Structure 1
């Protein structure tokens, strides 16, 4: 690693790490049809099915391998954004609810929109751009005062952000319970006739989250520069990538600007192999205004919640960040609630 740093520098290595992680995530997410929105739709309809199994396998795999790595001292995420410094529970709750509602309106979360856009889905591309621009406005633009006000309603210090420490649960117990849950999710997936390749791809989605944590952590151990330990998330990196393309002649080299094109390349590769790449437009059955509203809600909600369905839900959840767990629970509540109300009303 030190030789690679000397030859290429930390920014270039971060870019490559992000690219590799993104390709693996994009390919496996496309093949497995990993999607939080689809999982919530099954729950809202009163049945548990294959989409829920896919999400559980990905989430529990990430949680298991990350926590095992921490337990064996192979990984230290204590300085990660999800655990270091103050967190906002009000942001996690309000932002999570908004993101969940937006995810249903747009028929996909931030990661799913990026994956679908690789196959030629113009609805996903347009919605993703609206999400990204809203996120930028929420982070640094006209909507930032509103975000700051909502975030400050209920904050917690950094030493109260790790769930197992708050509840005094030994990490070994967390790992054991997670392993049992993953075993049940695997059997659940087979019960619903998921293909072995789909189950493995769902597990690889979780594994990609672990890979991002591990590779960036290894870089921090050999770097003389300040490098953040980080993993898969989409709203922030998508915003940074888009703004860099608009504002600068050269793209900043970091994990996020490698991750976003990596996911696109990975998903596109599988779409081409399966001959599923085709242009998909808005039509009377897919009204644009619904998608645009969904993109706005997700962009604002993700900035409040500290991440998207993957960034907060899976990546933050895998390190047992309290705000991440509250955010993903709120995303589930917002998504299931909207679908339940829609079903009752119609």
Structure 2
């Protein structure tokens, strides 16, 4: 059945929510299996401790970029009207928000998407941190923290269109963008072979990257095909705005029409839960003490405010935004890496958590888990 026929039969809103649910399920399942996590990748890189997490992130990053740019080059989708490219952006918000998010994900032991995946496995620390993250994001968007976010975002802005498109600003063009992604994919393959990364690592991470490109394609196709008033927003995966939206719907507006974001969050949770259940990794885990709880909650607050100020989280900017080469997303991603590495250096590596695991995460499953 064609997309046009599906739109005629079900309508724009239900179809978007169903697409978000399905793509979110795929993302959640393979993020759980591959242990996809920007925080762990940063720590491995900063400490020079090869363990496969950096390779996993690079596979997801390179595949998301290559698949997205290939779809654009082939004329399969047009993302020029997406908010990340077309709307006015904030360079100051990207830098400061990205840095705050980077600090927060070190303290909370995972970015927003990783918290959702871990919560689905039974990690109660992530459940509480994820809830605080969503509340803070909502407060930064429309609540008490909104004036601070708006002030920071107003310091240095950039117009939409070509002024936010790095393929235009740098002269890369579509071919250069594809070559850039190919270089990083080759690097990921080389590192995967050297570190003997198991199939679930590189294959799962590749599926994560394809989920990003699929979200761009799906929402762009719905927007181009739908005849309903008010085009559906062209977007990919992100977890700051969607988490705030789901919280708002549950508490205040359950009767609003469903959206792609409304399907995304439960889809990721369900996908990660199914993966953990199939491979017997469901396990209830709590806080080890008051100091540990304070650390997680502070991290969640910083991620919620930082992600909303930056206009994207580790996935929203790190994969989705970077895949369409918007300058604000690349600034956000760079700030996340730098701030996370410095936070790890001056907090974790100084022995404040000597009793905690170095990465605070599960190892990439070995090859036998692929069968």
Q: SS in structure 2 opposite 1:83?
A: helix
Aligned-residue offset at 1:248:
3.0
After TM superposition, the runs of 4+ consecutive aligned structure 1 residues lying more than 6 A away are: none
Equivalent-residue separation in structure 2 for 1:319 and 1:173 (angstroms)? 13
Of the three residues 211, 216, 233, the one matched with 2:214 is: 211
Judge conservation of contact 1:241–1:251 (CA < 8 Å) in 2.
no
Aligned-residue offset at 1:285:
8.8
Judge conservation of contact 1:110–1:309 (CA < 8 Å) in 2.
yes
Alignment correspondent of 1:235: 240
TM-score by length of 2: 0.91
Alignment correspondent of 2:123: 121
Of the three residues 104, 107, 110, the one matched with 2:106 is: 104
Q: Deviations over 1:208-236 (max 9, x none)?
A: 00010111111112111311111111111
Alignment correspondent of 2:185: 182
Alignment correspondent of 1:267: 272
TM-score by length of 1: 0.97
Alignment CA distance shift 1:140-1:277 (3 Å): same
Q: Deviations over 1:40-72 (max 9, x none)?
A: 111221334411000011001000010111111
Alignment correspondent of 1:35: 37
Alignment CA distance shift 1:14-1:340 (3 Å): same
Judge conservation of contact 1:21–1:212 (CA < 8 Å) in 2.
yes
Alignment correspondent of 2:149: 147
Equivalent-residue separation in structure 1 for 2:119 and 2:169 (angstroms)? 40
Q: SS in structure 2 opposite 1:287?
A: helix
Q: SS in structure 1 opposite 2:133?
A: helix
What is the correspondence of 1:328-343 to structure 2 with a 5 Å cutoff?
A: 328-342=333-347
RMSD over aligned Cα, in angstroms? 1.3
Q: Deviations over 1:231-289 (max 9, x none)?
A: 11111111111110111344641100100000011000010011110111111397100
Equivalent-residue separation in structure 2 for 1:325 and 1:116 (angstroms)? 26
Of the three residues 311, 316, 323, the one matched with 1:318 is: 323
- Once the two structures are overlaid, the 10-residue window that deviates more, 334-343 or 243-252, is 243-252
Equivalent-residue separation in structure 1 for 2:206 and 2:191 (angstroms)? 14
What is the correspondence of 1:44-123 to structure 2 with a 5 Å cutoff?
A: 44-123=46-125
Q: SS in structure 2 opposite 1:118?
A: helix
Gaps of 5+ in 1: none
Residue correspondences, number? 346
Judge conservation of contact 1:113–1:127 (CA < 8 Å) in 2.
yes
Q: SS in structure 2 opposite 1:74?
A: coil
